[in-house]
């Protein structure tokens, strides 16, 4: 808990940036379902305002409710910032040119969202899924890392839901087969009722998957152990509209700190609302975080 409180006080040196709302899938747990169709990419105006902010950061996370590789300017965006380390979140179904993507040798991690290893189950979760493209991307990444001697961390992320409770061990096997470095299981945001109802099954599946990952020497991330910390800070999140959020959970509940089109980023992070966030009081009330061990420690700590 003390570590979490310390991290919250750190000035963020990482930033999560949304680059598109467009997506080729329709996952059952995704908030895009509630927002409706909105096929927009990040604007030139927003990129111009973000330019000095990105240059001041150590790490950039490309993520959002859309599929990152459907943004046609993604390769150029990454090449324009050779000093920043990039993490990209993708569903893995859009073919990737790793030579161009990593031209500046600044790709640090790629997170592939894979929720099942069987086509029928994957289709129930997210619509028609292109496993052939995913496997092609994984083979190409493996080849690129070997031939270019690049240490790009590959992470398999599975969001636990009602369709894939029996897939956890199979996903570990898949991660081993395709040379992933990390396997990460996530709890669905807004799915507190499901988590509570299936807690016993989820916990049992996680323990079995954890033991398998240990045997395979895969780094395993337990969703009940983790929170919103990325390296040594909690990265703020900027949407296509220019809204700035203190973390991913405040994005989920639409609790914006301000808009970068109305006020400079540094001014937004220096105002009272963000300072209050850094005290950890919002973490105490966070529905997502309270499902984790550290979240309960924070809650108990602030109650003392």
The pLDDT value given to residue 290: 62
At CA 226, angle to CA 223 and CA 228, rounded to 5?
115
pLDDT digits (tens, 9 = 90+) for 62-85: 998 899 999 999 999 999 999 999
pLDDT digits (tens, 9 = 90+) for 248-304: 878 878 899 999 999 999 999 999 999 999 988 778 777 666 655 444 444 454 443
Which residues on neighbouring strands pair with residue 87, listed in sequence order?
Answer: 61, 109
Q: Is the pLDDT reported for residue 186 higher than 50?
A: yes
pLDDT mean over 50-61: 98
pLDDT digits (tens, 9 = 90+) for 154-172: 999 999 999 999 999 999 9
The pLDDT value given to residue 289: 64
Q: How many CB atoms lie within 10 A of CB 215?
A: 10
SS3 219: strand
The pLDDT value given to residue 57: 98
The pLDDT value given to residue 28: 86
Alpha helix stretches (DSSP H) within 25-127: 32-35, 44-55, 74-79, 98-101, 119-126
pLDDT digits (tens, 9 = 90+) for 11-41: 999 999 999 999 999 888 886 544 545 568 9
Distance set, CA 254 to CA 146, 159, 239 (Å): 42, 21, 11
Dist CA 300 CA 4 (whole Å): 13
Least confident of 102-106, 174-178, 195-199: 195-199
pTM for this structure? 0.91
Listed residue (285, 263, 266) closest to 274, CA to CA: 266
Average pLDDT, the chain: 89
Exposure letters 95-116 (e unless 16+ CB within 10 A, then b): ebebeebbeeebbbbbbbbbbb
The pLDDT value given to residue 303: 41
Q: Are 64 and 93 in contact (CB under 8 A)?
A: no
The pLDDT value given to residue 295: 42
Listed residue (207, 224, 206, 194) closest to 292, CA to CA: 224
The pLDDT value given to residue 296: 46
| Residue count (the chain) | 304
Least confident of 100-109, 157-166, 189-198: 189-198
């Amino acid at each position: 808990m003390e570590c979490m409180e310390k991290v919250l006080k750190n000035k963020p040196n990482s930033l999560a940036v949304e680059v598109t709302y467009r997506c080729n899938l329709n996952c059952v747990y995704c908030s895009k379902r509630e927002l409706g169709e909105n096929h927009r990419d990040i604007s030139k105006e927003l990129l111009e305002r973000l330019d000095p902010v990105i240059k001041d950061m150590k790490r950039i996370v490309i993520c959002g409710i859309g599929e990152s590789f459907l943004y046609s300017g993604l390769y150029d965006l990454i090449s324009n910032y050779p000093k920043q380390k990039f993490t990209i979140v993708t569903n893995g179904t859009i073919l990737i040119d790793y030579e161009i993507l990593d031209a500046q040798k600044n790709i640090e991690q790629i997170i592939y969202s894979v929720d099942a290893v069987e086509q029928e189950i994957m289709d129930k979760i997210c619509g028609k899924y292109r496993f052939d493209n995913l496997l092609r991307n994984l083979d190409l990444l493996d080849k690129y890392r070997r031939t270019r001697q690049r240490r790009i961390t590959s992470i398999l992320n599975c969001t636990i839901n009602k369709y894939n409770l029996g897939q956890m061990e199979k996903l570990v096997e898949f991660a081993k087969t395709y040379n992933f470095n990390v396997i990460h299981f996530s709890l669905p945001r807004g799915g507190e009722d499901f988590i509570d109802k299936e807690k016993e099954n989820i916990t049992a599946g996680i323990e079995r998957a954890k033991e398998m990952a240990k045997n395979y020497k895969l780094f395993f991330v337990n969703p009940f152990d983790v929170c919103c910390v990325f390296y040594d800070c909690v990265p703020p999140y900027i949407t296509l509209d220019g809204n700035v959020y203190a973390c991913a959970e405040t994005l989920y509940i639409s609790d914006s700190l301000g808009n970068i089109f109305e006020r400079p980023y540094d001014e937004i992070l220096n105002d009272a609302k963000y300072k209050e966030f850094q005290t950890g009081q919002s973490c105490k009330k966070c529905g997502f975080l309270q499902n984790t061990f550290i979240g309960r420690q924070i809650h108990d700590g602030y109650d003392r």
